[in-house]
Amino acid sequence: MMTSPSFQPTPSIPFELRQSPIQGLGAFATRRIRKGARIIEYIGERITQAEADVRYDDESMERHHTFLFNLDDDTVLDAGTVHNESRYINHSCEPNCQSLIDKGHIHIYALRAIEPGEELTYDYAYERTPEMGDDAEGLYVCRCGTPSCRGTILAPEKKAPARRKKSASKAKRSAKAPSKSKSKAASKSKAASKSKAASKSKSPATSRSKSAGRGRRAAS
């Protein structure tokens, strides 16, 4: 694996690769890394989102295992082919590193000071898509073992914004009975919406195609 012609070693990196309690090989600091330090560039073969979908079919995997990283809306880095040591930095829900995009390149930076012997980790934050079902959490399982582990390498679900309460004066005005003209208009709009809803329910369900972006890591 480490002698593969697709492996491109990085000189003078502050970590070494060895077995990780999280998964497979991991990256462990060999010297103190200061907060904010740029540690390594994440490299990979530059391919299109469409090509990434062809290469990796998440639905056929018992457990997700790819090295795809979204660079932009059109380009993905695939470290399953061309790669360096950054490919082996594991995910954690309590990371000590982060990934950042800078001028078309992805680099791994230290979020805090990292001591020798510590395993380097960053949050993969795999992008969620509307097509993901209830089994997605199990497919993208996390084994970082931290106290705040969310159980998945998927990005945290976005919370809906809290609804603002109406002021007392607005609430009173909205409670007034509508005029006759308004009442008719309202009934017409309701009827129209019901008609549209009925027509939608009668139409046959369309199959959803796999969404680009699924199974990709997202940089901060």
Tell me: the pLDDT tens digits for 20-55?
Answer: 999 999 999 999 999 999 999 999 999 999 999 888
pLDDT of residue 130: 75
pLDDT tier, 165 (very low <50, low <70, confident <90, very high otherwise): low
Strand order across the beta sheet in which 45-48 lies: 45-48, 75-78, 68-70
CB 67 within 8 A of CB 21: no
pLDDT tier, 118 (very low <50, low <70, confident <90, very high otherwise): very high
Burial of 218 (0-12, 13-18, 19+ CB in 10 A): middle
Least confident of 17-21, 86-90, 175-179: 175-179
pLDDT of residue 168: 47
pLDDT for residue 140 is more than 70: yes
Distances (CA, A) of 24 to 11, 70, 88, 143, 190: 22, 23, 8, 11, 58
3-state SS class at 49: helix
Mind listing the domains of the chain with CATH numbers?
15-139 (2.170.270.10)
pLDDT tier, 103 (very low <50, low <70, confident <90, very high otherwise): very high
pLDDT tier, 119 (very low <50, low <70, confident <90, very high otherwise): very high
Question: Residue with structure tokens 């809306």?
Answer: 73
The helix (run of H) or strand (run of E) holding residue 193 is: helix 180-202
Q: Whole-angstrom Cα distance, residue 211 to residue 103?
A: 26
Q: Whole-angstrom Cα distance, residue 37 to residue 120?
A: 13
pTM: 0.72
